[in-house]
A and B are shown apart, each in its own frame.
Chain A
Amino acid sequence: MTITTDNYEQYLFRYAEGDLSPDERSAVEVWLTQHPEASEELENYLACPPLAPAPIPYPDKGSLRLRATVFAFPWRYAAAACIALLLGMGIWRYLSNTKDEPVLMRTGTSALPMMAENHNFLTIAKRKQPAVRLPKTITCRQETCTPVVSYCQDACTPEYDISSMEEGPAVAEVPNVQPLPEEETVVIIYEEILVPCTIEEPVLAWVEVDSTYSPTLADRLEYWSSQYTCQFYSQYQMARAKMLTSLSRRPF
């Protein structure tokens, strides 16, 4: 055992605590006689009063218990609740999507929802929100007098100017439709909701007809539209069924 200036404090501590063997105690006492300043330190150590601090209460033990309660929360129930919530949201969204049933076709000028000056509006099928409008034009080929469905170049709002619409490329001819007189032009605006729109699966929204044409056009148009609508509505139904199956929407 060697007491040095580097380790003497440990020995003095153990000496004061009575933790040394008799031989070690003797060695320390001899060393102390040779180092009076260390001896003075030992006196200070022994003379220091013991600590007796007053108790200091923790301000809010309840919060510690509350924290324990939180930690004991059954996380599996929380997880189950989250899953149930997500399922419920999914079901709600599905059901809200399925609510968009088309209104039955209304034909004839008397059933028109609005009448713009010099125009007869014929509502063929009206959808609820959300609505993606992709207007198409159906013009009458002068050669064959059969309606041709084509895409409008730009998506339009209901308040658009028909004259600004440009006829897009003819994609398909609508079969089984009563041909229109060659001098008449029919513009049909489609309102497509939910159903990914293709030229083969248009959904008829309303028809705007220039009333400057033959006054009997409305009657003919009504017949024509009814044929058209049935055609398209069945196509819409097919498309909608397909959409629901795939549960996806194609962007436009």
Chain B
Amino acid sequence: MTQQEYHRTINLRADDLYRFALHCGADTETAKDAVQEAFAGLWEHLPKVTPEKSKSFLFTIVYRKVASHFRHEKVIQNANNEWDKNPSCRPDESFDLKEALQQAFSHIPEVQRAALQLKEIEGYSVKEISSILDLSEQQVMTYLFRARVSMRKYLTALGYDNNNR
């Protein structure tokens, strides 16, 4: 990868990486750090990383940075309790489906969020996701399945069905 391609990659991927980190549960500072670290790593390995591989390279670093941050912070993934304790997370009649979906998305565990983002937003295959998240393909498929099932159940609990509100 050349320097020019590197700079082009910044324009292409920085926003997606940042969103990915935020949706994995990182705060803005952690997300920014993760993205910076990812591009720093890419620069360091510039001759070895091709433009085609750069995307998965970057997402891998961002996810690992966010995951290690959560391990450090010992975040307890208990979405139900969070929902009960935090009034802002209570179902609101003003929520439209998009907001409700976002709410449901934030409800699922971090690793499921990461896998779902990589699949539905970034378009990665199960095999690629398993490489980025350092999981087996069977684990990835299981998490993807559980993620959408959980989100659907959450939407149903909020009163949203297939016909929307």
* Chain A contacts to B: CB under 8 angstroms: 7, 9-10, 12-14, 16, 41, 44-45, 47-53, 55-61, 63-65, 67-68, 71-72
- Majority SS of interface residues in chain A? helix
CB distance from B133 to the nearest CB of A (A): 15
**A16 surroundings in chain B (CB, below 8 A):** 145
CB distance from B19 to the nearest CB of A (A): 4
**B117 surroundings in chain A (CB, below 8 A):** 51
Check A53/B43 contact, CB under 8 A, given A48-B149, A58-B17: no
The reply to whether B148 and A67 form a contact with Cβ atoms under 8 Å apart is no
Q: Bound complex: CA of A45 vs CA of B141, how far in Å?
A: 12
Q: Bound complex: CA of A58 vs CA of B32, how far in Å?
A: 8
**B66 surroundings in chain A (CB, below 8 A):** none
The reply to whether B36 and A67 form a contact with Cβ atoms under 8 Å apart is yes
**A45: contacting residue among B18, B36, B145, B155, CB under 8 A:** B145
Does residue B11 face the partner (Cβ distance < 8 Å to A)?
yes
Does residue B67 face the partner (Cβ distance < 8 Å to A)?
no
Q: Bound complex: CA of A53 vs CA of B18, how far in Å?
A: 12
CB distance from B16 to the nearest CB of A (A): 8
CB distance from B91 to the nearest CB of A (A): 17
**A48: contacting residue among B40, B102, B141, B148, CB under 8 A:** B148
**B116: contacting residue among A51, A52, A56, A68, CB under 8 A:** A51
* Chain B contacts to A: CB under 8 angstroms: 3, 6-7, 10-11, 14-15, 17-19, 22-23, 28, 32, 35-36, 39-40, 43-44, 97-98, 101-102, 105, 116-117, 120-121, 138, 141-142, 144-146, 148-149, 151-153, 155-156, 162
B139 nearest CB neighbor, chain A only: A10
24 interchain pairs, CB-CB under 8 A: A9-B145, A10-B141, A16-B145, A41-B145, A44-B153, A45-B149, A45-B152, A47-B162, A48-B155, A49-B155, A56-B15, A57-B15, A57-B18, A58-B15, A58-B32, A58-B35, A59-B32, A61-B14, A64-B35, A64-B36, A67-B40, A71-B40, A71-B44, A72-B3
Q: Bound complex: CA of A65 vs CA of B43, how far in Å?
A: 10
Check A64/B14 contact, CB under 8 A, given A47-B152, A53-B19, A56-B22: yes
The reply to whether A9 and B39 form a contact with Cβ atoms under 8 Å apart is no
CB distance from A1 to the nearest CB of B (A): 14
**B35 surroundings in chain A (CB, below 8 A):** 58, 64
**B142: contacting residue among A13, A50, A58, CB under 8 A:** A13
Q: Bound complex: CA of A53 vs CA of B16, how far in Å?
A: 10
The reply to whether A51 and B105 form a contact with Cβ atoms under 8 Å apart is yes
Q: Bound complex: CA of A64 vs CA of B62, how far in Å?
A: 14
